[in-house]
Amino acid sequence: MNKSIVSFKNVTYQYPDGTTALKNISLSIQKGKKIALIGNNGAGKSTLFLLLNGILKPSEGEFFLQGKKITYTRKEIKALRQKVGIVFQNPDSQLFSTSVYEDIQFGPKNLKLTKEEIQETVEKSISLTETDTLKDKPPHFLSLGQKKRVAIAGIIAMGPELMILDEPTAGLDPYYSKKMMMILHELQDEDRTILLSTHSVDLAYEWADEIIVLHNGRIVAHGSPVDVFKQKDILQTSHLTQPWVMEVYEHLTSRSDYPRSKEELFVKLSSIK
């Protein structure tokens, strides 16, 4: 059975000014995974996300939703956006209502839900993202980190099958960064896929089931966190570093059964002392 939600075949994307932001990308996003997209500034992460949500159209190549080729009719785009929800890198392009509460309920209101269901999903996502104290404020008065949390609350309330988050922790303080990753960990299950981009190799390494490395518009690595971050040559050419947990473990033990978190590192180190 094909479990791919969306996939690209040989996709290239060129902006109107001639910048080729994505080059010959073939990629399948499978159901039920936590996937981190990493790559330095300008690698093409945000562009890739805009294509996955149908905001941009490939210049070349093909895009499939659940195995069916998209021809970009209005009906197909609508179906695509119900399955694939996105939180933009810049929350200002997402928030436009007069209050936080209205913003969060905007998405669910457009789904076929009853009044009670809308209220329930909105309240739940407000409580998860700890945005209750913000709910009556106009979004444009919030700090960047607060706006980001509100934008994320909005997508959680809609519960799309594929949740895409462009740098969800950028601008968040360490408390909310960690909290956000925990929420995203809890939201993911067999039916829900989460795809996020981040600059933090540490966060990607600990959180993801699968890592995709983009460099200059091309996928240069794609695999499990350990397999990807073992490839030091690729990290170097992509201007990335190894996660600190891996680096410390390698330095102290010269072993390759890498721990995935600080806690696992401590357990492993104390067992070989």
Ligand X SMILES: Nc1ncnc2c1ncn2[C@@H]1O[C@H](COP(=O)(O)OP(=O)(O)O)[C@@H](O)[C@H]1O
Residue ranges binding Mg ion (CB under 5 A)? 45-46, 89
Q: For ligand X, which residue of 19, 59, 119, 127 counts as binding (CB under 6 A)? A: 19
Token readout for 92 is 């200002």
* Site size for ligand X (CB under 6 A): 12
Q: Is 17 in the site for ligand X (CB under 6 A)?
A: yes
Q: Distance between CA atoms of 149 and 145, rounded to whole angstroms? A: 6
42's contact among ligand X, Mg ion, none, with CB below 5 to 8 A by partner kind, is ligand X
CA-CA-CA-CA torsion sign (79, 71, 39, 92): negative
Among 13-21, 65-73, 117-125, 185-193, the segment contacting ligand X (CB under 6 A): 13-21
Q: Which helix (H) or strand (E) holds 11?
A: strand 4-14
Nearer to Mg ion, 6 or 21 (CB): 21
Q: Distance between CA atoms of 48 and 167, rounded to whole angstroms? A: 13
Q: For ligand X, which residue of 6, 21, 152, 221 counts as binding (CB under 6 A)? A: 21
Q: Beta-carbon neighbour count of residue 231 at 10 Å?
A: 16
Q: Is 93 in the site for ligand X (CB under 6 A)?
A: no
Show contacts with ligand X in window 28-87 (CB under 6 A): 39, 41-47
Note the helical H segments in 135-261: 144-158, 174-187, 201-207, 225-229, 232-237, 244-253
Nearer to ligand X, 50 or 142 (CB): 50
Q: Which helix (H) or strand (E) holds 267?
A: helix 262-271
143's contact among ligand X, Mg ion, none, with CB below 5 to 8 A by partner kind, is none
94's contact among ligand X, Mg ion, none, with CB below 5 to 8 A by partner kind, is none
Q: How far is the CB of 214 from Mg ion (least distance, A)?
A: 10
Q: Distance between CA atoms of 3 and 20, rounded to whole angstroms? A: 30
Nearer to ligand X, 21 or 194 (CB): 21
Note the helical H segments in 112-167: 115-128, 144-158
Q: How far is the CB of 92 from Mg ion (least distance, A)?
A: 14
Give the interface with ligand X as residue ranges (CB under 6 A): 15, 17, 19, 21, 39, 41-47
